A and B are shown apart, each in its own frame.
Chain A
Amino acid sequence: MSRIEFGLIALLAAGNTLAGEPPPARQKELVHLVRQDCGSCHGMTLQGGLGPALLPANLQDKPAEGLVATIIGGRPGTPMPPWNQFVSEDEARWIVDKLMTGFPP
């Protein structure tokens, strides 16, 4: 592998993780959104309310992409609303990743 190719791959890999991680200020906003506004249905501690618990133990067997789709598009016929006006798909992916591994306080 040439040095240029190697550099390109490293760059792409770095770019990839960066695309998935919202900047720190936005992360703070998303944490606030999830705890406070998702919290009105899922509980501020995410242990459930009108909506189900969103703790790692509850989500571990569910495909992440399905959960991302639920956040973006909502679940028609249930109170789960679509959040696509307020979070991008990458941000929803970050939220799901954090939900599945333990959501920051």
Chain B
Amino acid sequence: MRLFFAAFAAFIVAACAGPQVRGTGDLGLVIERASGQVTLVDTSVRQPYARVAGLGDLSHASAVYSRDGRYAFVFGRDGGLTKVDLLEGRIVKRVIQAGNAIGGSISQDGRIVVAQNYTPGGIKAFDAETLELLAEVPAEYAPGKFSKVVGLADAPGNQFAYALFDGGEIWVSDFSDPRRPVTRRFPAGSQPYDGLVTPDGRYFLAGLFGEDGVALLDLWQPDKGARKILENYGRGQEKLPVFKMPHLRGWSVAQGKAYLPAIGRHEVLVVDTASWKEVGRIPVRGQPVFVIARPDGRQVWVNFAFPDNGKLDVIDTLAGRVVKAFEPGKGILHMEFAPRGEHVWLSARDDNRVLIYDTATFGKLGEIAADSPSGIFFTSRAHRIGF
């Protein structure tokens, strides 16, 4: 009996000293753009639990997750691609993959991480395990002319869809053979600024800056080519200046509709995702940047470009209008919902805080200190198509 107790005590001590056994479904990270570090957070207790430094220039950084939710792949502005272990709170591997990067994505099977780059313009595919370079697709849209790549998103079949800002095209690269991607090109329109894949993985949308409209490609029927929706939504009226480019992602789709930022108009455009016809537009208090549906689709939260970047508007999708307008802080750059949407985390860059709000009562639940926070990324993204 005494021997048993001794063994049991030894087991307890070993268990305490070793890594804690836990899942990753409620973890996430906050990018701290000024200091090149990420803060790891636990969304169940709504607290940070580790800081990881040494990720380089994180202005405009974004992250995607391995399918087990353990590793984050962080894409930095300086072309750095960093693999962070959320459980051990450390960098596993870091490579400088380009001169100037804008984001990235991960394949359906989780084995290929793809970075999209401004210079040199194109995409690069890496082995998710080792970050070894597998293949490159330079965005050479005309002989000797390379485009900045925007809007990269994963689609079923280990495909990636993206748009060429300078080339005015949508490209779809099939990485079924990771070392030999096959790319198809589709004319899209003038100056695509970002893109999204719908949550079902079927459609790629590219928002256009150089003309009123959005290019739509049916990935199930690519032979039909890209067509334009929301054409001429500005009705020829003069555009308001755009002090920051909007961001698109599959979170725009809610309740059979897509809620998309207008360019140069203080409106959210509403499109039916069956007919792809405009079914409404909702006035908001600035140039929308992020238009993000709560996971259940009942609400859509909107933040804004400079100089309105302290404001947030919440649209009720049943009422079809803004039901809550408030100013939670200074420089609200990003928002991320808890996996099932009961609370939302907001980065208030100029307050050096991340704010946590209840989405039912709009009451503030808490805040955490962070150095110039920008993007917030939860592991629930690991299981969403197009993230």
Contacts and interface: CB of A to CB of B under 8 A. Distances in A.
A41 B102 CA distance: 11
B119 A50 contact: no
13 contacts: A37-B243, A37-B306, A40-B60, A43-B57, A44-B77, A47-B100, A49-B102, A50-B193, A77-B210, A79-B191, A79-B242, A81-B241, A81-B243
A81 B119 CA distance: 22
Interface in B90-118: 100, 102, 118
A6 B331 CA distance: 49
Nearest to A46: B59
Contact of A50 (B57, B59, B245, B350): B245
B15 interface: no
B244 interface: yes
Interface string A8-50: 0000000000000000000000000000110111011101111
B349 interface: yes
Interface string A52-63: 000000000000
Interface string A71-84: 00010010101100
Contacts of A39: 59
A47 B98 CA distance: 13
Interface residues on A, range: 10 to 19
A41 B78 CA distance: 14
B148 interface: yes
A49 B331 contact: no
Contact of B33 (A41, A44, A47, A50): A44
B71 interface: no
A70 B135 CA distance: 39
Contacts of B350: 36
A49 B77 contact: yes
Given A40-B244, A74-B241, A48 B306 contact: no
A36 B307 CA distance: 12
Contact of B245 (A37, A45, A79, A86): A79
Interface string B347-361: 001100000000000
Interface residues on B, range: 20 to 34
Contacts of B242: 79, 81
Nearest to B119: A48
Nearest to A32: B350
A79 B59 contact: no
Nearest to A84: B241
A49 B193 CA distance: 12
Contacts of B349: 36
A25 to B, nearest CB: 16
Contacts of A43: 57, 59-60, 77, 100
A45 B57 contact: yes
B301 interface: no
A47 B80 CA distance: 14
The 9 closest A-B pairs by CB, nearest first: A44-B59, A81-B241, A37-B306, A40-B244, A81-B243, A45-B57, A43-B77, A48-B100, A39-B59
B59 A45 contact: yes
Contacts of A79: 191, 193, 209, 242, 245
Contacts of B102: 49
A37 B100 contact: no
A44 B34 contact: yes
Given A43-B100, A79-B191, 4 more contacts: A40-B245, A44-B33, A45-B59, A77-B210
Contacts of A40: 60, 244-245, 306
The winner among B33, B102, B241, B244 for most chain A CB atoms within 10 A is: B241
Contact of A49 (B100, B210, B307): B100
B370 to A, nearest CB: 15
B251 interface: no
A86 B307 contact: yes
A11 B125 CA distance: 63
Contacts of B210: 77
B165 interface: yes
Given A44-B77, A47-B100, A50-B148, A37 B57 contact: no
Nearest to A48: B100
Contact of B244 (A37, A48, A77, A82): A37
A79 B119 CA distance: 18
A45 B306 CA distance: 19
A82 B215 CA distance: 27
B165 A50 contact: yes
